[in-house]
Amino acid sequence: MSLSESPRIGVEEAEPRFLELLERVALGEEFVITRNGAAIARLVPVQRTTTPDSRRQTIAALRNLSEGKRLDGTTIKELIAEGRR
């Protein structure tokens, strides 16, 4: 949902209704908070984009990517070890 599509609510109105707004956001609604008519914040639900399996896949892909990668004949692990000395 874009900023222009989200319901707009002024700071003065949002403040006393904050808990109600949070409940509605938890159900998927979004709000644009305004001050003097100008948008200053957007209240949106947190959406988990990763799962334990996708994290494991990403870690495995990064490990595979770094295998054998060299910079002027030096592996990434060697560069890290050098930086720790």
**34 and 60 housed in the same domain:** no
Are 60 and 80 within one domain? Answer: yes
Query: Count of alpha carbons within 13 Å of 33, Cβ hemisphere only?
Result: 15
Q: Which residue range(s) make up the domain with 68? A: 52-84
pLDDT higher than threshold 80 for residue 66? no
Domain count, the chain: 2
> Which pTM value belongs to this model?
0.52
Residues 56 and 80 in one domain: yes
In a domain, 1, yes or no: no
In a shared domain, residues 59 and 39 = no
Structure confidence by residue, pLDDT tens digits, 9-53:
999 999 999 999 999 999 989 999 999 999 999 999 987 666 777
Is 33:3 a contact under the CB 8 Å cutoff?
no
Q: What are phi and psi of 73, to 5 degrees?
A: 85, 0
Position 3 scores a pLDDT of 61
57 domain-assigned: yes
* For the chain, counts of helices (H) and of strands (E): 4, 5
Q: Which two tokens stand for residue 70?
A: 């060299």
